[in-house]
Amino acid sequence: MAQPPKAFQQVIDDFAFADRQERIEMLIEYADRFQEVPERIATRPFPEEHHVQKCESDAYVWAEDLPDGTLKFHFAVENPQGLSAKAWAVILDETLSGQPLEEVAAVPCDSVFTVFGKEVSMGKGMGLMGIADMVTAFARQRLAARKSPA
């Protein structure tokens, strides 16, 4: 069975050993790097099929097919206060975009709790796991399409 990409696992490991204050600082740094989905991918109003259900930050996820068969992930976070969703989007984009689909599909959604801490609220945790679920679902869909006859 495939393992998540090394870059993703490194970030998870970094958060696993961070104390609460370090975790907050790291998440703010990630959130500051958030880039809104480019207009060539999507414009408002965003299609509902890209909407992450149960996400308090009103997040959306897209997967762009790259020539090498990998995916580039794009995100929108409609809640301006959605720093956690923005940070998570940056982590997922920076560590999963351009990686083998088998490895992206192997990312466990509960890694949210390593990054954000066990004290993350149930609502926030469900939304963040929903973002990860959409990313891994895009990878699984592309893998299934490769295996099925055209």
Q: What is the CATH number of the domain that holds 20?
A: 3.90.1010.10
Strand partners, 59: 77
| Residue 79 placed within a domain | yes
Tens-place pLDDT, residues 79-102: 999 999 999 999 999 999 999 999
* pTM (two decimals): 0.96
H helices within 17-121, ranges in order? 20-32, 83-96, 101-105, 112-116
Is 1 a member of any domain? no
Question: What is the mean pLDDT of the segment spanning 107-135?
Answer: 95
Mean pLDDT for 114-124 is 92
Q: Which domain holds residue 16?
A: 6-35+47-147
40 inside domain: no
Strand-pairing partners, residue 60, are 51, 76
Is 69 domain-assigned?
yes
φ/ψ of 117, rounded to 5, equals 95, 155
| pLDDT of 119 over the 90 cut | no
Q: What is the pLDDT of residue 150?
A: 58
State the total domains in the chain: 1
Pairing of strands 71-77, 59-65: antiparallel
